Chains A and B, each alone.
Chain A
Amino acid sequence: MSTTRVHYAGIATRALALAVDVAIVQVIVFTCAAVIGLVGSLVGDLHLDTLGRVLAAVAWALAVATYFVTFWSTVGQTPAMRMMDIRVVAADGTPPSLGRSIVRLVGLGLAIIPFFAGFLPVLVDDRRRGIHDMLAATVVEHEGSPGGPFLSAPAP
């Protein structure tokens, strides 16, 4: 069988992109929180009770999820992935759909929880996929790689 070389992104590139993305999201969330806190302190005494903290955590999670899912499903890459010149694609070579992006985000959480052990398959998988890629049926490849379906996938 003839295969075409696709340059899949490795663990260091992806880790760096993820770190930069998380930093970007944190800056956005903290900026918004600071503005809300400032307005709250001007209006009245701002005090977060348990419910407020839970709501803040939910807002943070929603911000993170919105950031990743929006970028993945629309252009196939986050700003940090753009910086690293990589993109996430589905089996047909296009950016993952909204549902697939949500699945990938859940898988990303699952990969991170056991001390990032979910990323270890990237080191041994032929297409350098992590757990979240396997769950969402996506790959992360370098820009400039031949588009289309997973051309370098080994024959089943």
Chain B
Amino acid sequence: MPGAADPRDVAIGAVALGVRTGARAGRVALVPLGLALRVPVAGGVLRRRADALAAGGAAARLQVRDAVLRSEELDRLICAVLENERTDQLVARVLESPGLERLIVRVLESRLVDELTERVLRSPELERVVEYVATSPQVLDAVSHQTRSLADEMAVNVRRRAESVDDAAERTVRGWLRRPRPHPA
């Protein structure tokens, strides 16, 4: 059963109704103007006047947009929204929601991702990036260094083991012959 109406909802509904009504009234008011524009003599004058009005309106719209974008209030508003604790909570709730996960899974499984991947892989830009990375001196140095390090490490291990076998074999044979290795003074 519905409860008592929220005054804020009532106010917002009233505003929305007013806007809708105003828009309808505006459209009705513009009907005679549209008819007047089709009149042969007065139509040209009225059309030029309408064009001038439209140009003024467009310029005013751009001015308003620039003023809004440059205004410090907008910066403060954005900062306030971003720093608001409720924004964090909202983002956390959205990220934890199963709906977002389902949405992301659907996007990833869609044909769009496959096509995008194919297009990226076939793009000349990617070839240029791969070529740049493959021929970059830093990458070549790193690969060369890694290869050299591995070969050096292998050689050191082989040498160490061979020397152990050297000493063991010599010790064994000298033991059989009772001929110890002379130690330097």
Contacts and interface: CB of A to CB of B under 8 A. Distances in A.
Contacts of B170: 10-11, 122-124, 128
A125 to B, nearest CB: 9
Contacts of B185: 1-3
Contacts of B163: 10, 12-13
Given A84-B158, A85-B159, A124-B174, A10 B182 contact: no
State which size class the interface on A falls in.
20 to 34
Interface string A114-130: 00000000111010100
A122 B159 CA distance: 17
B100 interface: no
B167 A10 contact: yes
A10 B169 contact: yes
Given A84-B158, A85-B159, A126 B166 contact: no
Interface string A99-133: 00000000000000000000000111010100000
A5 B159 contact: no
A4 B155 CA distance: 27
Contacts of B162: 10, 12-13, 16, 84
Interface string A51-88: 00000000000000000000000000000000111000
Contacts of A12: 162-163, 165-166, 169
Interface of B: 155, 158-159, 162-163, 165-167, 169-170, 173-174, 177, 179, 181-182, 184-185
Interface of A: 1-5, 9-13, 16, 83-85, 122-124, 126, 128, 152, 154
